[in-house]
């Protein structure tokens, strides 16, 4: 039995289905992220766990107890909001002590526990200040302290780092993770930032338009995306679909774009429709043909030098767009727009899945929301 | 389409008259002397700042400070025969309104001005407390509701402003008079009364009805500004809805409460028509007294002294209130 269980939860606002039959779990002490673009239902799911929204259908259990019909104030939930929601009319100490006050803890003990938790989030000596005097990162720590001080069953966080600037955000990632480990608290974390989710989570649940698209370890999500949405939302990739054929004892995928791939093992039967996801950074690029397996020509449309990596936006013979990314690339001068280049991929790096059967599935090149 | 093209297209859509006005204004604003003056001003930003501030100060000086200074001067002058003003400095007016007791038909009735000033402040206080009690709930509701009828409801709050004050007070005369609605309904349940008109209750009731929007709107405004996240986070931390209101919403709506209270208090204390129409002779307020002294006794200097004392008292009260509540929050920093 998992610590937090979300079972077939659906939420409708009028005619709009914000969350559609979502099921996932979080084990005791586990860090689970809900990842997806805005409007995918991740925040609504989190709010249902918190008790701020009531699910239209489905059940939510925390620690084995069914809390589906309980209001927020009867669940033992620590929640960090996007803008921290620190009470401006109360001092830092009063803010952090608030959940204890609601539980009838006497003032003296409250002060002690507040001081202790502030120590643990490495923010001592701010007890009597106003939260508005603190920096964004400090406010973040206060919000965390406030959510943890009463030792709740679950910690819920709704895009808590999105209000910080980039450098601080990356520092706080580490810090949030450290605090989570130290308190050893089951955490459900909502974000649209793939890097954030991957860096912090034990497991990630990807949501797409209210549906659960995939859940698993970051490694599994990245290396074996099960849907086109996941392949495109996480990282940059190109999706090509085609028909499987057996030739000379080899299993080939003849894609509609005219490129033929040699498949690694033997997933699927001949004449099956299959799809390959080509991860941009797993593709190699070279001005000359080397005759290797899974090599195909493409034309460079644009080159983006980004410093740590270089992106090549290419087109295949039939016009399908393809993106290739090279790490630490310096030989830029050898590649101009309009040049024909040869793109290769190791058969082991091909992500093959059953073709979802959508007609437009050949041509999408998306970049993750970063 | 660029913004400039958009603008050109917009002006092409204008009607003939608008196009003419547009052309006229562009003509004026682009005329050489106007352009040069604007350029010169722009080059001297400090001068521009001074001119802008100067305009405001001049406006205040002409329409507020000058009349006030005149009234202050008047209050130290004396009434001559037939109501003329004698420009002769003396403290007699202040002495008479602050220190002299009045005897009427052998009855010792004390210092009329101070009695009436005290009564005005009392009415103001009662009106403020009542509007606060009656106004918080609608203000809170309007501030928190997601209803698509919110703007309609807000319109209903200000709708009474469209009815002239005097008509509203006359309506109350019909409601509270001898044969009025209140008496009739009380009669049905067996309570005999001669109506409430020309009493304290009538004056405060009228003031409450008229001034209620001045309480509702600031409260609405400050409640609407409270982020849902505050209330929700209180709930996730274990606060029941009532507790969350008491701990979070109420303190965060204090600026609205004090803004509304100050507005209502000032307007109520200075009201003229409510006591004149709904109150009896014993319910006069300071504005009525000043008006009588000005218009019926033709004693402008005495009336001015009354006005100045009233101003000082009100100003002191608000300053004290400010000490306790902090008006920076009300008027912004």
Rg (CA), chain A: 25
Distance from CA of B148 to the nearest CA of A (A): 14
Confidence band of B14 (pLDDT split at 50, 70, 90): low
Q: Does residue B103 sit within a domain?
A: yes
Q: State how far the Cα of A205 lies from the Cα of B9, in Å rounded to an integer.
A: 50
Q: Answer whether B235 touches A (CB < 8 Å).
A: yes
Closest to A149 in 3D by CA, of A127, A171, A170, A128: A127
Instruction: Judge whether residue A79 has pLDDT over 70.
Output: yes
Closest by CA position to B209, among listed B176, B250, B246: B176
Do B17 and B160 sit in the same domain of this protein? no
Do B221 and B292 fall into the same domain?
A: yes
Specify the range with the lowest mean pLDDT, choosing from A99-108, A151-160, A294-303. Answer: A294-303
Please determine, for residue B182, whether its predicted confidence score (pLDDT) is greater than 90: no
Please indicate, yes or no, whether residues B154 and B35 belong to a single structural domain of this protein: no
In a domain? residue B254: yes
Is B236 in the A-facing interface, judged by CB distances under 8 Å?
yes
| % pLDDT > 90, chain B | 50
Identify which of A352, A305, A347 has the alpha carbon closest to the alpha carbon of residue A326: A305
Residues of B in contact with A88 (CB under 8 A): 252
DSSP-assigned letter for residue A13:
E
Whether B236 and A150 lie within 8 Å, measured CB to CB: no
Q: Tens of pLDDT along B277-298?
A: 998 888 889 999 999 988 888 8
DSSP label of A224: S
B255 with B159, same domain? yes
**Domains recognised in chain A with CATH numbers:** 4-223 (3.40.50.300), 238-366 (2.40.50.140)
Residue whose tokens read 């830092």 = A92
Do residue B235 and residue A82 have CB atoms under 8 angstroms apart? no
CB contact under 8 A, B232 and A102: no
- Report B:248-287 residues touching A (Cβ under 8 A): 248, 251-252
pLDDT at B138: 95
Of B224, B221, B230, the residue nearest B256 (C-alpha): B221
Cβ atoms of residues A354 and A268 within 8 Å: yes
Please report whether residue B196 resides in a domain: yes
In a domain, B59, yes or no: no
Please determine, for residue A236, whether its predicted confidence score (pLDDT) is greater than 70: yes
Task: Tell if the CB–CB gap between B227 and A73 is shorter than 8 Å.
Answer: no
Instruction: Return the CATH number at B233.
Output: 1.10.3720.10
Per-residue pLDDT band at A246 (split at 50, 70, 90): confident
Please name the residue of chain A whose CA is at the shortest distance from the CA of residue B229: A85
- Of A316 and A292, the structure prediction assigns the larger pLDDT to A316
The pLDDT, as a whole number, for residue B24 is: 85
pLDDT at A357: 53
Sequence-ordered list of residues with C-beta below 8 angstroms from that of A268, at least 6 positions apart, any chain: A244, A274, A352, A354
Q: Does the pLDDT value for residue B1 go beyond 50?
A: no
- Chain B residues touching A145 at Cβ < 8 A: none
Give B252's contacts in chain A (Cβ within 8 Å): 87-89
- B65 DSSP assignment: I
Q: Are residues B317 and B229 in the same domain?
A: yes
Write out the residue range of the structural domain in which residue B12 sits. Answer: 1-43
Chain B residues close to A157, C-beta within 8 Å: none
Lowest-confidence segment of A348-357, B201-210, B300-309 by average pLDDT: A348-357
Q: What is the C-alpha R_g of chain B?
A: 27
Residue A271 is predicted with a pLDDT of 62
Backbone angles phi, psi at A276, to 5 degrees: -115, 140
Q: Do residues B179 and B287 both lie within one domain? A: yes
Shared domain check, B255 and B114: yes
Same domain, B120 and B3: no
Q: Which residues of A touch B (CB under 8 A)?
A: 50-52, 71-73, 75, 77-79, 81-83, 85, 87-89, 98-99, 102-103, 146-147, 150, 156
d(CA A122, CA A84): 17
d(CA B73, CA A186): 76
Residue B209 pLDDT > 90: yes
At B28-78, the pLDDT tens digits run 888 888 888 888 777 777 777 888 889 999 999 999 999 999 999 999 998
Give domain status of residue B87, yes or no.
Answer: no
Is residue B216 predicted with pLDDT exceeding 90? yes
Pairing of strands A211-216, A154-158: unpaired
Same domain assignment for residues B17 and B109: no
Query: What is the DSSP annotation of B1-37?
Result: --HHHHHHHHHHHS-HHHHHHHHHHHHHHHSHHHHHH
Question: pLDDT tens for residues B114-143?
Answer: 999 999 999 999 999 999 999 999 999 999
Here the tokens at position A129 are 């200040």
**Does A88 contact B252 at a Cβ distance shorter than 8 Å?**
yes
Indicate which of A72, A114, A153 best probes the interface with B, i.e. most B CBs within 10 Å of its own CB.
A72
pLDDT of B81: 83
Token pair 């499987």 is found at: A244
Distance CA B204, CA B213 (A): 15
Quote the pLDDT of residue B64: 92
Please give the structure tokens belonging to residue B99.
Answer: 């220190």
Burial of residue A23 (number of CB atoms within 10 Å: 0-12, 13-18, 19+)? middle
- With beta carbons less than 8 A apart as the criterion, state whether A309 and A330 touch: no
Residue A370 has pLDDT above 50, yes or no: no
When mean pLDDT is compared across A165-169, B192-196, B304-308, the lowest value belongs to B192-196
Are both B32 and B142 inside the same structural domain? no
- The complex scores an ipTM of 0.81
Indicate the pLDDT class of residue B203, thresholds 50, 70 and 90. very high
Contacts of B239 in chain A (CB under 8 A): 73, 98, 102
* pLDDT tens figures, A343-367: 988 888 888 777 665 434 333 434 3
Q: What is the mean pLDDT of residues A86-101?
A: 95
Residue B193: pLDDT above 60? yes
Tell me how many domains chain B contains.
2
- Whether residue B190 is contained in a domain is answered as yes
Comparing alpha-carbon positions, the chain B residue that sits nearest to A151 is B237
Query: What distance in Å separates the CA atoms of residue B107 and residue B98, rounded to the nearest whole number?
Result: 19
d(CA A304, CA A299) in angstroms, rounded, equals: 15
- Answer whether residue B118 is part of any domain: yes
Indicate the SS3 state at residue A56: coil
Q: What is the pLDDT of residue B12?
A: 52
Is residue B51 included in any domain, yes or no?
no
Task: Indicate whether B29 and B130 sit together in one domain.
Answer: no
Contact (Cβ atoms closer than 8 angstroms) between residue A215 and residue A24: yes
Residue A109 has pLDDT above 70, yes or no: yes
pLDDT band at residue A7, thresholds of 50, 70 and 90? very high
What span, in angstroms and rounded, lies between the C-alpha atoms of B310 and B304? Answer: 10
Closest residue by Cα to residue A80 from B277, B147, B229, B283: B229
B236–A52 C-beta distance less than 8 A: yes
């Amino acid at each position: 039995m998992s610590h937090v269980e979300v079972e077939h939860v659906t939420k409708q606002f009028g005619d709009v289905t914000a969350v559609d039959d979502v099921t996932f779990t979080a084990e005791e002490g586990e860090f689970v992220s809900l990842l997806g673009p805005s409007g995918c239902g991740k925040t609504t799911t989190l709010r249902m766990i918190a008790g701020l929204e009531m699910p239209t259908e489905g059940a939510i259990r925390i620690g084995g107890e069914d809390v589906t019909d309980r209001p927020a104030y009867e669940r033992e939930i620590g929640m960090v909001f996007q803008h921290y929601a620190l009470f401006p009319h109360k001092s830092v100490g009063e803010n952090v002590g608030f959940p204890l006050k609601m539980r009838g803890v006497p003032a003296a003990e409250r002060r002690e526990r507040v001081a202790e938790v502030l120590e643990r989030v490495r923010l001592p000596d701010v007890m009597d200040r106003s939260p508005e005097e603190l920096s964004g990162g400090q406010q973040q720590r206060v919000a965390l302290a406030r959510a943890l001080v009463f030792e709740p069953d679950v910690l819920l966080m709704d895009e808590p780092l999105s209000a910080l600037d980039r450098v601080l955000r990356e520092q706080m990632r580490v810090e949030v993770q450290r605090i989570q480990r130290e308190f050893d608290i089951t955490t459900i974390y909502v974000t649209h930032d793939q890097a954030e989710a991957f860096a912090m989570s034990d497991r990630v649940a990807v949501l797409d338009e209210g549906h659960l698209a995939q859940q698993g370890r970051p490694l599994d999500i990245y290396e074996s995306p099960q849907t086109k949405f996941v392949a495109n939302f996480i990282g940059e990739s190109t999706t090509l679909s085609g028909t499987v054929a057996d030739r000379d004892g080899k299993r080939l995928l003849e894609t509609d774009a005219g490129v033929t791939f040699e498949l690694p093992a033997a997933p699927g039967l001949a004449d099956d429709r299959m799809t390959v996801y080509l991860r941009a950074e797993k593709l190699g690029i070279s001005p000359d043909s080397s005759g290797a397996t899974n090599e195909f020509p493409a034309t460079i449309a644009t080159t983006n030098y980004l410093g740590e990596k270089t992106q090549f936006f290419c087109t295949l013979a039939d016009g399908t767009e393809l993106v290739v990314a090279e790490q630490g690339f310096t030989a830029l001068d050898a590649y101009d727009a309009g040049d024909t280049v040869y793109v290769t991929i190791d058969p082991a790096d091909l992500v093959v899945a059953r073709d979802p059967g959508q007609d437009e599935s050949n041509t999408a090149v998306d970049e993750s929301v970063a | 389409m660029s913004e400039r093209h958009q603008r050109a297209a917009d002006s092409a859509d204008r009607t003939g008259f608008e196009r003419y006005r547009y052309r006229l204004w562009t003509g004026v604003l682009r005329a050489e002397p106007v352009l040069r003056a604007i350029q010169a001003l722009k080059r001297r930003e400090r001068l521009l700042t001074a001119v802008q501030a100067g305009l405001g100060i001049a406006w205040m000086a002409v329409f507020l400070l000058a009349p006030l200074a005149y009234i202050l001067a008047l209050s130290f002058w004396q009434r001559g025969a037939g109501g003329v003003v004698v420009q002769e400095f003396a403290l007699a007016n202040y002495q008479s309104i602050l220190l002299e007791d009045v005897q009427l038909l052998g009855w010792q009735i004390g210092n009329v001005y101070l009695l009436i000033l005290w009564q005005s402040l009392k009415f103001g206080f009662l009106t403020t407390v009542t509007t606060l009690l009656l106004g918080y709930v609608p203000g809170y509701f309007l501030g928190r509701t997601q209803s698509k009828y919110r703007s309609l409801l807000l319109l209903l709050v200000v709708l009474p402003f469209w009815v002239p004050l005097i008509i509203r007070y006359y309506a109350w005369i019909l409601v509270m008079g001898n044969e009025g609605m209140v008496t009739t309904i009380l009669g049905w349940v067996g309570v005999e009364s001669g109506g409430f008109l020309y009493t304290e209750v009538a004056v405060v009731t009228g003031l409450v009805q008229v001034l209620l929007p001045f309480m509702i709107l600031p409260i609405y405004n400050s409640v609407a500004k409270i982020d849902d996240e505050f209330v929700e986070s209180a709930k996730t931390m274990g606060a029941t809805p009532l507790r969350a209101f008491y701990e979070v919403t109420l303190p965060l709506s204090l600026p609205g409460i004090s803004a509304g209270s100050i507005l209502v208090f000032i307007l109520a204390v200075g009201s003229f028509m409510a006591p004149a129409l709904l109150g009896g002779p014993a319910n006069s307020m300071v504005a009525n007294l000043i008006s009588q002294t000005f218009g019926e006794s033709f004693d402008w200097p005495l009336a001015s002294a009354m006005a100045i004392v009233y101003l000082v008292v009100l100003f002191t009260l608000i300053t004290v209130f400010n000490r306790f509540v902090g008006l920076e929050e009300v008027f912004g920093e």
